[in-house]
Structure 1
Amino acid sequence: MHRPARLLTAALTASAALLLTACGSGGGDESSSDKIAGADSAETPSASASASASADGIDRPEIKLPSDMKNVFEDRQTGDPQKDAILADNERAISTVDQAMAYGDMKKSGMAFYYTDSALTGVYYYAKDNIARKTAWAGTLRYFDRQVRVFDKTSAAVTYCADESNANVKDLKTDKVNVVETSPDSYVYYNTSVRKNSDGVWQIWKLDEDRGAKRCQP
């Protein structure tokens, strides 16, 4: 069931309206994510075969969004290497969901590289639903007031706001962009829990959203 949302997109997904419908706001449900990630299906989310080593030496899935889909991430540099690495993986996570919808390919989206547990379950079914509807978005999504709270060497929380006022719903069957009126619901507050896996990737395992949050309003 769809919750009312300005866009049919995730942010970090990155829109969590459908994501939360699928996975709720609960914590790590490893059995759910394992079932999806290990399913014998062409739609199974996995790292792209065209992964390449990044500056940190990690072989990461390639992420490339279409020219009419742009994510703008503010507050990228904190001066703390650990926090900067967490924010960088947060950006990549959000973009993998957008990439899946834009190209209709979850297998090479990279979602399972950056999401795990209930968060992976949510983005998987979120993307799958939008792909079935042939729906994505076009325009610019702005992510701001990005904050990292580090708990230890392998766990942290990332909070941020999303501004959807300059993005609109795109019908992939017709390439028509349907303009959506800006409202308080165009601004969303996200609270994510992340942990560093054995490969050094900061994966999102839990995500909560507050659409229309006052703290994110202009």
Structure 2
Amino acid sequence: MARRTLILTTMTTTAALLLTACGGGGKTDGIKGADKGSSSPSPSATTGGGGPDVSVPKDLNLVFDFTKPSNAQQAAALADAENYIRALKHGIVKQDPNDPAYQYYSGGQAAQYAKSQIQAWVKGGWTPTGTDRYYNSVVTSLSGGKRTLVAFCRNQAKSYSKEINTGKVLYTDENADSYLKYQLLMQPPTGSSKAWKAQVVEVKGQAKECQQ
């Protein structure tokens, strides 16, 4: 199989209730493995503001068809939610469960989730390739801006696993498992950090609302 799906780490009751209240809930599955004008297919993107390298190889095309919010805080939260995804992919490509990139953009359960995903890919001997598309972003401020909920869809139909030892690409056809719905609870920068950090991530598998 080309898609490697893990069960999502159980969230704390508080975080789970928060996400459900904001439109989450449903079956949760792990993943395998900007705005319209800044849709980002570039495989070599890096972050600004002194952040870590989150680049990926040219054969992995990460596309973010996100609409940038007019609110500056919401726009920053969305940008670093994208960086969290990029950092997770970077860690998989580097085959490093302790990669500093995802740790820079996450904490708590979201960091544990990223680490578990990377570990699974390392154990399987796979790396991602193809086109991985993220779209239909919705950003909601919570608790007077103290937290921000970022939700978006993912279509992984053209994203595949590649065996590291042989270079063989494991292709699959598009199906219900190709569509996922993400919700990331983002925390604003604290202390010397300049990044919004994902604290909780929920991934809903076979998301009908994302099938387009």
State whether TM-score is above 0.5.
Answer: yes
Question: Residues 66-99 of structure 1: CA distance to partner in whole angstroms, max 9, x if unpaired?
Answer: 1111110012422222121111101110011111
Q: By how many angstroms is 1:53 displaced?
A: 8.1
Question: Residues 13-56 of structure 1: CA distance to partner in whole angstroms, max 9, x if unpaired?
Answer: xxxx4260xx2233689xxxxxxxxxxxxxxxxxxxxxx982xx
| Greater Cα shift, 111-120 or 124-133 | 124-133
Partner of 1:203 in structure 2? 197
Alignment of 1:159 with 2:151, yes or no, is: yes
Secondary structure of 1:140 counterpart: strand
Structure 1's 108 and 25: CA in aligned 2 closer, same or farther, altered over 3 A?
Answer: closer
The answer as to whether partners of 1:28 and 1:117 remain within 8 angstroms in 2 is no
Structure 1's 19 and 81: CA in aligned 2 closer, same or farther, altered over 3 A?
Answer: farther
**Which of 134, 138, 149 is the equivalent residue of 1:143?**
134
**Which of 191, 194, 204 is the equivalent residue of 2:186?**
194
Structure 1's 28 and 114: CA in aligned 2 closer, same or farther, altered over 3 A?
Answer: farther
Unaligned 5+ residue runs, structure 1? 9-16, 30-51
* Alignment root-mean-square deviation, CA: 2.2
**TM-score, normalised on structure 2?**
0.77
Aligned length: 179
Percentage of matched positions with identical amino acids: 21
Alignment of 1:125 with 2:116, yes or no, is: yes
Rounded Cα–Cα distance in structure 2 between residues aligned with 1:26 and 1:6: 31
Q: By how many angstroms is 1:136 displaced?
A: 2.0
Unaligned 5+ residue runs, structure 2? 16-45
Q: By how many angstroms is 1:154 displaced?
A: 2.8
The answer as to whether partners of 2:80 and 2:197 remain within 8 angstroms in 1 is yes
The code of the aligned residue for 1:7 comes to R
The code of the aligned residue for 1:25 comes to M
Q: By how many angstroms is 1:182 displaced?
A: 0.9
Q: By how many angstroms is 1:209 displaced?
A: 1.6
The code of the aligned residue for 2:3 comes to L
